[in-house]
Amino acid sequence: MKVVLFCGGLGLRLRDYADHIPKPMAPIGYRPIIWHVMKYFAHFGHRDFILCLGYRGDLIKQYFLDYNECVSNDFVLSNGGKSLDLVNSDIDDWHITFAETGFRANIGERLVAVQKYLGDDAVFLANYSDGLTDLNFNQYLEYAREHNKVATFVSVKPSLSYHITRTDDTGLVTGIDEVAHSGIRINAGFFVLKREIFNYFRPGDELVIEPFRRLIRERQLASYEHDGFFAAMDTFKDKQLLDNLYEAGNPPWEVWRRTGEKTRGMQLGREHNLVDSKT
User: How far is residue 62 from each of residues 25, 57, 98, 140, measured CA to CA in Å?
Assistant: 11, 9, 11, 33
pLDDT of the residue at 259: 53
Measured in degrees and rounded to the nearest 5, phi and psi for residue 252 equal -60, -25
Residues in a beta bridge with 159:
none
pLDDT in tens, 7-57: 987 755 565 555 678 889 999 998 999 999 999 999 999 999 999 999 999
Q: Please state whether beta strands 31-32 and 27-28 pair in parallel, antiparallel, or not at all (unpaired).
A: antiparallel
Report the candidate in 135, 123, 129, 122 with the shortest Cα–Cα distance to residue 107. Answer: 129
Q: Where are the alpha helices (DSSP H) in 198-235?
A: 210-217
Using 50, 70 and 90 to split pLDDT, how confident is the model at 182? low
pLDDT of the residue at 18: 57
Q: Greater confidence, 224 or 261? A: 224
pLDDT over threshold 70, residue 60 = yes
Using 50, 70 and 90 to split pLDDT, how confident is the model at 226? very high
pLDDT over threshold 70, residue 266 = no
Tell me the residue ranges of DSSP E strands in the chain.
2-7, 27-28, 31-32, 48-53, 75-78, 83-86, 95-100, 123-127, 131-133, 151-156, 161-167, 173-180, 186-194, 221-225, 230-232
Helix/strand/coil percent split, the chain, to 5: 30, 25, 40
The pTM assigned to this predicted structure is 0.84
pLDDT in tens, 72-121: 778 898 888 778 887 878 888 999 999 999 998 999 999 999 999 999 99
Amino acid identity, position 230 = F
Q: Greater confidence, 245 or 75? A: 245
User: How far is residue 142 from each of residues 22, 31, 136, measured CA to CA in Å?
Assistant: 33, 30, 10
DSSP secondary structure letter of residue 264: P
Query: In the CATH scheme, what is the code of domain 2-74+90-157+185-272?
Result: 3.90.550.10
Burial of 120 (0-12, 13-18, 19+ CB in 10 A): exposed
- Report the 10 Å Cβ neighbour count for 63: 17
Residues in a beta bridge with 88:
none
The mean pLDDT value for 250-258 works out to 92
Report the candidate in 55, 5, 46, 13 with the shortest Cα–Cα distance to residue 265. Answer: 46
220 vs 108: CA distance, rounded Å: 17
The mean pLDDT value for 194-219 works out to 97
What is the percentage of the chain residues whose pLDDT exceeds 70? 85
Using 50, 70 and 90 to split pLDDT, how confident is the model at 273? very low
